[in-house]
Structure 1
């Protein structure tokens, strides 16, 4: 039964009277034995942050004076390949292009599209190299302000649920699902997803977060286009677009893995409480969200199951760096492995992703962080495996959810009627 309409909720937002709770707040109330009522809540805010490989950018980049070349054959941005087109931009001296967040630099195997997008959004200089169809070569330097268009498109973002990974063999395995080659057997566990805070965990049928709904993508107000690629009834995900010029660089970036650099994004979505059924979906708790444990050599081989309570609860959001314990190694394993480049000679806690790789890697205990262990059974045998790498950042997710909540409370974020 419908309790209220989008129009009624928007009127309350505009007047400053809307009641907005985060998905975690709802889950905590339920966990404490309370029974929140749909009549008392207008909007529930949700979010996630993690590696989202289906991310691309559509860019319009100035290169040279009009008439300097007919059209581009190839383009590099800080060494990251872009794909010219679809518009040829004949004789305009500029190039339309698509750049994938998973593309790797031809000059630096640790730099990829995610790092490039963060540099652009941060306002940093980006080197452009273009070869025309006639072999002419051009170089220039641009910043985000120089770009005519910078639109991000996420083809599959914010899955309702993910697989997690272990290596059951004795041979180390290279994969995008771990920051380094994963040793085995069962030496570590890696996972993604923010459990009870995740948007589609709270709206699994996309009844409220549907095509046309407004969301925040990396802090920029964007739109859900529809279901993403590989979306299914069991594991839905979203296709989202937003203007990169309005993004906050804190919420996106590159993430080095054992198979090369990837990209992480942050997504926050508002669920309008239109009915009791929509509200009840937000009662989900981490312990109820099953997490398949799969063989990192093939994600379709499910070995067992854990849950997000086991993976997240009781863990730290960020590591602590103990400079007095650091041995200042000539070759620092943490500096080499840190997926976001957060550690140089000090720990940049804002750049840090909270993955846990530093605490896992340093042999001298210069980094401490409680990442916990997960428990599952393989062929009836109980297993306890330490978490070695988290490919989602609960801290950033919570920060973006807080930002979305504030915008709604302040009357700066109205909801679209997409139903």
Structure 2
């Protein structure tokens, strides 16, 4: 693979800038926007470390306030804490640094300031009216996974419940996304794997979605190619900046694709597993995707062949099974959903997801139960055989 040259790409209201060390562009971005005060919502993992120190150095002229975002998936408590810090800081430059949790928390917190009141008032998977926040919003992903830096949605759990809220509006989106592969080098292999497989799932499901089209397919296809060729390398060689960079770009492209094309059955299952059993999102997708692609095979047509070719196998399910095994995610569902009653609840929850409607093949709760039963057995990288 040829070396990836740095680039800057403008899409809608987003500026996407890629390159090792491009974190330093923050200083000029802040200056051009006439920013006066910065608030950095940063994954708590980085507080007090090298990334934190670098940000303080870059943003020294903007009196930066730092707020550590908990590493668990966003909930109403963590969003409210971030909102409070943002409000008290009076910042007109808001920067989210971390994985999807940090970025989604920042998205929701900003909207709660410009749309005061209960978060329930702005919840809606197809979008609700929201007043914009007058800050410049910059997202800087440190993992290649969610694509949150370029999507217009956020998912927030209601603390103390199994309910996950979807917020969606163009005013939530970051104006600038900086993709700096140097920031992802410190991610443990397990995080690289789960985040990366989340990005793979975004790309595959956006490409095969019933509402995919000529504007989303090129992004989804490129994302699959970048991730298929580099996720395993990034997992095995954490310091490989080319592989890290390719995964970051692939994750971003998948985010652009699914923002319009939506997702599918694997995400419906993963969402229910996350809500009911707090299964990490990327891992839940890895458990589901080879099996949901086996289920989808009769309905995918030529697109199934494209996916199979990209992932180097005779069919898409086998290719995704091999990749899952190569990055250490080939485990049993039983480790996270312990019994038949729990599987029934996941099946019922998944069947109600809007993602099922755009999946290539409609799935009933009974069919999802069968898929979950098969998910109990690791594939060891072989073809997943599904009795449906």
Larger radius of gyration: 1
Structure with a larger share of its residues in helix? 2
Q: Say which structure is richer in strand.
A: 1
Task: Flag the structure with more relative contact order, 1 or 2, with Cα contacts below 8 A and sequence separation at least 6.
Answer: 1
TM-score under structure 1 normalisation? 0.25
